């Protein structure tokens, strides 16, 4: 019995030291991670802003695929919006930002976070992937399935259909949301 209590005390001590070390490490790295995420988001916003002035973020509650919107102005006039989007890909939730004209045409998009399969769904992070969606949303429908793409573009998303559909539906949802905003200030 005494032997078991000794082992239990040793195991408890090891667990306590490990828990303390993990908590201490988290307290040091957590602010750095938050700051880095904010910097990455700002770089993404600037990348999709089309050179227009970025306004203040407005949360969008209860809107499918949309988390927030940010007005883009040029010479004091609202020229478009950046919309924070979320979708559900093969690996789970993904977040991205996309810019739109006031008519709902998608200008630029950038993936922020995802847990997609390397080599397949992770292609959505690469330069040029979001070009398939440029100029869609108002006069031209947002592609939400591979059937809506040309043969070379469809081949480029081969193996990642779920990711492609999730991105397409999120961009389509963002476009519909922006159309409700129009040129409001």
Give strand pairing partners of 106. Answer: 100
Q: Give the tens place of pLDDT for each residue, 130-182.
A: 888 898 888 888 888 777 777 777 666 666 778 888 888 999 999 999 999 86
The predicted model gives 18-45 an average pLDDT of 92
What average pLDDT does the chain have?
87
Is the predicted pLDDT of residue 122 greater than 70, yes or no?
A: no
- Determine the pLDDT at residue 143: 83
Structure tokens, 12: 């408890």
Q: What 3-state class would DSSP assign to 18?
A: helix
Give this prediction's pTM. 0.79
User: Where along the chain do its domains lie?
Assistant: 49-181
Q: What 3-state class would DSSP assign to 31?
A: helix
């Amino acid at each position: 019995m005494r032997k078991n209590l000794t082992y239990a005390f040793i195991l408890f001590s090891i667990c306590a030291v490990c828990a303390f070390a993990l908590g201490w490490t988290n307290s040091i790295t957590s602010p750095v991670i938050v700051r880095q995420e904010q910097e990455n988001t700002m770089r993404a916003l600037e990348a999709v802003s089309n050179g227009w002035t970025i306004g203040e973020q407005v949360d969008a509650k209860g809107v499918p695929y949309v988390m927030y919107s940010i007005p883009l102005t040029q010479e004091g006039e609202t020229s478009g919006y950046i919309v924070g989007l979320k979708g559900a890909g093969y690996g789970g939730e993904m977040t991205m930002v996309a810019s739109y004209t006031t008519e709902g045409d998608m200008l630029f998009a950038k993936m922020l976070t995802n847990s997609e399969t390397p080599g397949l769904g992770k292609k959505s992070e690469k330069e040029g992937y979001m070009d398939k969606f440029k100029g869609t949303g108002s006069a031209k429908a947002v592609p939400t399935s591979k059937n809506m793409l040309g043969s070379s573009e469809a081949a480029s998303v081969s193996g990642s259909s779920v990711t492609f559909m999730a991105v397409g539906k999120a961009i389509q949802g963002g476009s519909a949301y922006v159309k409700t905003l129009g040129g409001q200030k």
